[in-house]
Amino acid sequence: MYQSFIGLEIHIQLLTESKVFCGCTNRFGDEPNTNVCPVCMGYPGVLPALNEEAIRLSYIVARTLNCELSPRAIFERKNYFYPDMPKNYQISQFSSPLGRNGWIDIEYAGKPRRVRIHEIHLEEDAGKMIHAGDMSLLDYNRAGTPLLEIVTEPDMEAGEEAEILLQNFRRTIRYLGVCDGNMEEGSMRCDANVSINLEGQGLGRKVEIKNLNSSRFVKMALNYEITRQKELFGKGGKIVQETRLWNENRDVTEPMRTKESAHDYRYFPEPDLPPFIPGAEFLAKVDKGLVELPEARKARFVKEYGLSAAAADFLVAEKATADFYEQTVKLGAAPAAAAAWLQFDVRKILNRDGKELADCPLTAGRLAQLLSLLADGRIHGKIAKQVLEAVFAEDKDPGQLIKEKGWQSMSDMSQLAALVDQALAANAAAVDAVKAGDRKPLGFLVGQIMKQTGGMAEPRLVQELLKQKIK
């Protein structure tokens, strides 16, 4: 029997205003080479200065992932030449990264699993190379932007497990607001490593896989690689320690280069940056950035609001949705109703219109108002859906819309009773059929009254009155 060992190296771009060692703007999608200066372009004699926001966000991630925080984080130069790195070295961390020995808890195959974090370090990102025909273009806007690297221990066994870990991690960093987690745009990137060996014999020879720009590709590449290595092993072949690339068109991994070992980079301390020593004041700022994480929030939603696991799962997937939900409940909406409306009716409209909850005419206040009008019987269910559509279309409060459009339920008993009498008199055959035990004409009679009132009659009351009178 074989055993497989999977580890991940996850890179996330931190959402800071400026780059990590200079004042240039840190923003995706700007005109190429407009956010550059002598520091991030590596001119001789310039001095880097650490961006405190970048290191604060880094410590927030390290704390959240249960790491031991370094009391003295050291920056080192990692030396290598590549056109996207104009300095010919990258400022990174090696001997004393800011966080170590943490963990992420996930659930895989119905069981809780703990994946250990080896270390977390802060470094600067490289520029971007764009290959066009027979030339390569360079955009240095990304050079020097803050990049956080999270390295796990090889604690996972299957591609599916790595995929779950990535999804869980992505949700976490989005909750923390430190990174948008967009793997397609490259603000979150992942390299995977995998080795196999005979059971009980420890780690095998490590193969690294790059070019994985979705969590699904991570899963597919790892499972492909495990199968490839097992077959090779079975035939008595030798697994080479190497870096391979995922070919997403052919669904295979292909060799890229043999892996340099760490000393090839000739790390040495960055002489222009002192070690970072987090003081009490800084650590208090880090604590302020911690938030209730999705898993904890889900458990609380189930317990506090009596929601199903599925409903809670939906609500906590995005922090904005969970916040919106709690705000709606705080404003008086019944927890179950608010959850159901968000999960079904509201989501349907958002998907159809390609909108986000955070950026649409529906506010928590408006949803709470709509649900209270419904709960008080001032409108009935079908009209409530109409009102929701109108809120999106006209950007007005539900109460105002109902008044303007005359959508209040007709629930005045004497008014309804008169309508019921009319309907009974005009449909004697239907009445006889109901008396004889056929329930179908009852629906027909309700329909007649709804038609007459333009849908405003409260259908429940109409039905009750009909039954009473026919009896």
Return residues touching Zn ion (CB under 5 A).
22, 24, 37, 39-40
Q: Is 459 within 8 Å of 466 (Cβ atoms)?
A: no
Min dist CB 62 to Zn ion, Å, is 25
List the one residue out of 109, 29, 20, 12 whose CA is nearest residue 64: 12
Q: How many CB atoms lie within 10 A of CB 280?
A: 6
Residue number with CB closer to Zn ion (90 or 369)? 90
Q: How far apart are CA 85 and CA 41, in angstroms?
A: 8
**Residue 246, token pair as written in the block:** 């995922």
Min dist CB 260 to Zn ion, Å, is 28
Min dist CB 18 to Zn ion, Å, is 8
Q: How far apart are CA 430 and CA 10, in angstroms?
A: 70
Min dist CB 125 to Zn ion, Å, is 12
Residue number with CB closer to Zn ion (140 or 407)? 140
Maximum CA extent, the chain:
100
Min dist CB 40 to Zn ion, Å, is 3
Residue number with CB closer to Zn ion (40 or 410)? 40
Min dist CB 216 to Zn ion, Å, is 35
Eight-class DSSP state of 403: H
Residue number with CB closer to Zn ion (142 or 189)? 142
Phi, psi of 338 (to 5 degrees): -60, -40
Q: How far apart are CA 466 and CA 427, in angstroms?
A: 12
Burial class (CB within 10 angstroms; exposed 0-12, middle 13-18, buried 19+) of 160: middle
Residue number with CB closer to Zn ion (49 or 413)? 49
Cα dist from 364 to 34, 137, 328, whole Å: 40, 47, 5
Min dist CB 19 to Zn ion, Å, is 5
Residue number with CB closer to Zn ion (47 or 358)? 47
Residue number with CB closer to Zn ion (48 or 97)? 48
List the one residue out of 373, 296, 363, 371 whose CA is nearest residue 333: 371
Min dist CB 138 to Zn ion, Å, is 15
Q: Are strands 188-198 and 2-13 parallel, antiparallel or unpaired?
A: antiparallel
Q: Which amino acid is at 121?
A: H
Q: Is 440 within 8 Å of 414 (Cβ atoms)?
A: no
Burial class (CB within 10 angstroms; exposed 0-12, middle 13-18, buried 19+) of 202: exposed
Residue number with CB closer to Zn ion (37 or 442)? 37
